[in-house]
Amino acid sequence: MINEKHTEVFKTLKTPFYFYDMELLKETLELYTSYIKRYNYNAHYAIKANAQPEILHLIQKAGLGADCVSGMEVALAVKNGFAPSKIVYAGVGKSDAEIKTALKAGIYSFNCESAPEIKVINDIASGMGKIAKISLRVNPDIDAHTHKYISTGRQEDKFGISPWEFDAVTEMIKGLKNVKLIGLHFHVGSQITDMSVFQLLCRMVEQLQRWFIEHGIKIENLNLGGGLGIDYQNPVKNPIANFKDYFEIIHKNLIVRPGQKIHFEPGRAIVGQCGEIISRVLYVKIGQKQKFVILDAGMNDLIRPALYQAHHDMENLTSTGKLTKYAVVGPVCESSDVFTKSILLNQTQRGDLIAIHSAGAYGQVMGMRYNQKPLAKCYYSTDKRFCK
Ligand code: LLP
């Protein structure tokens, strides 16, 4: 978390930028891996959440594998030291070139999302003289009770293979020589804080894998995906996700058969709370109905509020003035470039530094250059200038 020493250095830096608390990331990883070890589970970090090399380095060192959704992510994972034997690769639209990249790397599992994809993987693997290990990403038709844009396990979502396709897909696989079915994969959504969703997922996993067992198909691997949410309302009070309840609920509800390996793909819960955006106030504008704080950071730096109506807590690092209600907005020419319509900040003026919390996941990595803005830089708490 940000301290006064950090703020003094921030004052000398060009804004906006991302700041990563690497001590918090380490602490989060220590707790996470303690549960993984306790229950003998396997974890693959969802690289899409944050792919900064320094962050990948810590996560890889902590022993996690990588969960990728493009050939470029697979290549990045390999480049950053993740063992191919710990890389899994999902995504509804794997291109031929991406499939080749993953086959060359020798990844652990292609998490396949449709019958035609499996056929293409088989044909490309055949051409390369390889056997591709595949898992079926199953769409269990579960509502994750999260924002509709980050729900992935309902029937209307584009992800996964539906149970009514099992017969045809497994028959097809039997006739393919260059793919080997090694497991089932699930990922029903993101920012899930209602733990009963994971309980329901465990029940569905059991119900669905029984179909395979009854058809004489051994399921060596069960991958439950990611999705555990973080506390966007109170990040300072709850800087680490509720791993305890999450793993307890999984351990209690998931039936694991002898020899079966259980996998997870956490993204947000690992990196979400360790990132902040540090931004300068350009103007305070007094409107008819509210006071606008206009920042130099915008939706080009953090798109989550505009895209998912996400709340990110904020703090004025340079004011102790009386708490005042503001709308906080960015400079981009879009009406949706609003971080919040109403938040209490210490009385704010031009030049103040505002921290936008919980921006470590799906923040910098979703940055864009709209309005010709440059991509934000980032700094790490381990940087010498913060440690003096
Ligand atoms: N596994 C798969 C197959 C996924 O698609 C995802 C995320 C994860 C794991 C990691 O989920 P997490 O543990 O981070 O919830 N941009 C959105 C989130 C999109 C999530 C995409 N898939 C946001 O900012 O909320």
Candidate of 94, 265, 301, 364 to mutate for ligand 1, largest count of ligand atoms within 8 Å of Cβ: 265
- Answer yes or no: is 249 within a domain: yes
- Answer yes or no: is 25 within a domain: no
Q: How many CA atoms lie within 13 A of 364 on its CB side?
A: 24
How far apart (Å, rounded) are the C-alpha atoms in residues 92 and 366? 19
How far apart (Å, rounded) are the C-alpha atoms in residues 353 and 348? 9
* 364 C-alpha to ligand 1 centroid (Å): 15
Same domain, 360 and 382: yes
Q: Ligand 1, closest atom to CA 190?
A: 15
| CATH number, domain with residue 207 | 3.20.20.10
Phi-psi region of 174 (alpha: psi -120 to 50; beta: other; left: phi over 0): alpha
* 3 C-alpha to ligand 1 centroid (Å): 30
How far apart (Å, rounded) are the C-alpha atoms in residues 35 and 253? 16
pLDDT in tens, the chain (388 residues): 899 999 999 999 999 999 999 999 999 999 999 999 999 999 999 999 999 999 999 999 999 999 999 999 999 999 999 999 999 999 999 999 999 999 999 999 999 999 999 999 999 999 999 999 999 999 988 876 777 776 776 777 788 999 999 999 999 999 999 999 999 999 989 999 999 999 999 999 999 999 999 999 999 999 999 999 999 999 999 999 999 999 999 999 999 999 999 999 999 999 999 999 999 999 999 999 999 999 999 999 999 999 999 999 999 999 999 999 999 999 999 999 999 999 999 999 999 999 999 999 999 999 999 999 999 999 999 999 998 6
| CATH number, domain with residue 301 | 2.40.37.10
pLDDT of residue 259: 95
* 375 C-alpha to ligand 1 centroid (Å): 22
Q: Ligand 1, closest atom to CA 268?
A: 14
Cβ–ligand 1 distance for 267 under 6 Å, the answer yes
Same domain, 252 and 115: yes
How far apart (Å, rounded) are the C-alpha atoms in residues 191 and 307? 14
How far is C-alpha 43 from the chain's CA centre? 13
Same domain, 104 and 178: yes
Contact between 279 and 19 (Cβ < 8 Å): no
Same domain, 292 and 361: yes
Same domain, 255 and 280: no
Range of 223's domain? 65-265
How far apart (Å, rounded) are the C-alpha atoms in residues 2 and 19? 9
pLDDT of residue 159: 84
Report angle CA 351, 356, 359 to the nearest 5 degrees.
Answer: 145
Same domain, 129 and 247: yes
pLDDT of residue 154: 73
- Answer yes or no: is 300 within a domain: yes
Same domain, 254 and 300: no
- Answer yes or no: is 46 within a domain: no
Q: How many CA atoms lie within 13 A of 161 on its CB side?
A: 24
Counting the structural domains of the chain, the total is 2
- Of 231, 265, 299, the domain-final residue: 265
- Answer yes or no: is 248 within a domain: yes
pLDDT of residue 140: 82
Candidate of 67, 185, 232, 268 to mutate for ligand 1, largest count of ligand atoms within 8 Å of Cβ: 268
* 47 C-alpha to ligand 1 centroid (Å): 9
How far apart (Å, rounded) are the C-alpha atoms in residues 254 and 222? 10
Same domain, 75 and 12: no
Cβ–ligand 1 distance for 226 under 6 Å, the answer yes
Core vs surface per residue 195-233: b (16+ CB within 10 A) or e: bebbebbbebbeebbebbeeeeeebebbbbbbbbbbbbe
Candidate of 135, 186, 190 to mutate for ligand 1, largest count of ligand atoms within 8 Å of Cβ: 190
Cβ atoms within 10 Å of 75's Cβ, excluding its own? 16
Same domain, 12 and 94: no
pLDDT of residue 153: 66
* 266 C-alpha to ligand 1 centroid (Å): 8
* 223 C-alpha to ligand 1 centroid (Å): 14
CA distances to 86, 103, 289 from 293, rounded to whole Å, are 45, 50, 13
Contact between 257 and 218 (Cβ < 8 Å): no
Q: Ligand 1, closest atom to CA 362?
A: 24
Q: Which ranges of the chain would DSSP assign to H, the alpha helix? A: 4-10, 22-39, 53-61, 71-79, 96-105, 115-127, 166-174, 196-214, 243-253, 268-271, 304-308, 384-387
- Answer yes or no: is 279 within a domain: yes
- Of 265, 298, 314, the domain-final residue: 265
- Of 244, 265, 286, the domain-final residue: 265
* 7 C-alpha to ligand 1 centroid (Å): 31
Cβ–ligand 1 distance for 191 under 6 Å, the answer yes
Cβ–ligand 1 distance for 308 under 6 Å, the answer yes
Same domain, 322 and 254: no
The pairing of strands 275-286 and 17-20 is: antiparallel
Same domain, 161 and 282: no
How far is C-alpha 101 from the chain's CA centre? 22
- Answer yes or no: is 23 within a domain: no
CA distances to 109, 180, 358 from 237, rounded to whole Å, are 38, 46, 12
* 166 C-alpha to ligand 1 centroid (Å): 25
Same domain, 120 and 195: yes
* 268 C-alpha to ligand 1 centroid (Å): 7
Cβ–ligand 1 distance for 330 under 6 Å, the answer no
Write the single-letter amino acid at 236.
Answer: V
For 73, phi and psi rounded to 5 degrees?
-65, -35
Cβ–ligand 1 distance for 90 under 6 Å, the answer yes
How far apart (Å, rounded) are the C-alpha atoms in residues 316 and 231? 19
- Answer yes or no: is 40 within a domain: no
